[in-house]
């Protein structure tokens, strides 16, 4: 039986360490301030929504999972390099609630970090 795998930060395929929404938030945090229209999206395969979320923006797609049950290869890289049949228009829906939750969490962390560094001065 082929098991699901995840591309790690080292670029190598290995065991899954994060659930997909956590991985999406981590990519959003990494790319914060660099991308336009950052969001967490739910994947649609063959017209059907599947319970899988990933990060995307106008510049970047981060879907680090090899999911054999869906014949899905991982892709983490520039949006223009992503396979349109898997990552183009109509292959996802924006999860507005998840996106907003994660954006607010990242903004709060940023405020705490700035406040903390100001107190040290």
- Contact indicator for 68, 59 with CB cutoff of 8 Å: no
Is 118's pLDDT higher than 50? Answer: yes
- Contact indicator for 53, 21 with CB cutoff of 8 Å: yes
Query: For residue 113, what pLDDT is reported?
Result: 86
Mean pLDDT of 49-77: 86
Tokens of 74: 């991982």
Three-state SS for 36? coil
Tokens of 89: 């228009």
Tokens of 120: 């040290």
- Of residues 29 and 119, the one with the higher pLDDT is 29
Report pTM: 0.78
For residues 118 and 88, what is the distance between their CA atoms, to the nearest angstrom?
43
Is 1's pLDDT higher than 60? Answer: no
What residues contact 30, with CB distance under 8 A and at least 6 apart?
A: none
Query: For residue 93, what pLDDT is reported?
Result: 93
Is 110's pLDDT higher than 70? Answer: yes
């Amino acid at each position: 039986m082929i098991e699901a795998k995840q591309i790690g930060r080292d670029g190598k395929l290995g065991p899954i360490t994060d659930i997909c929404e956590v991985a999406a938030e981590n990519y959003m945090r990494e790319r914060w301030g660099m991308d336009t229209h950052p969001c967490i999206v739910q994947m649609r395969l063959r017209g059907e929504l599947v319970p899988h979320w990933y990060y995307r923006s106008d510049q970047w797609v981060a879907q680090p999972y090899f999911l054999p049950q869906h014949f899905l290869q991982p892709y983490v890289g520039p949006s223009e390099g992503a396979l349109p049949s898997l990552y183009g228009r109509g292959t996802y829906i924006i999860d507005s609630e998840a996106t907003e939750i994660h954006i607010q969490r990242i903004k709060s962390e940023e405020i705490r970090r700035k406040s903390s560094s100001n107190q040290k001065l």
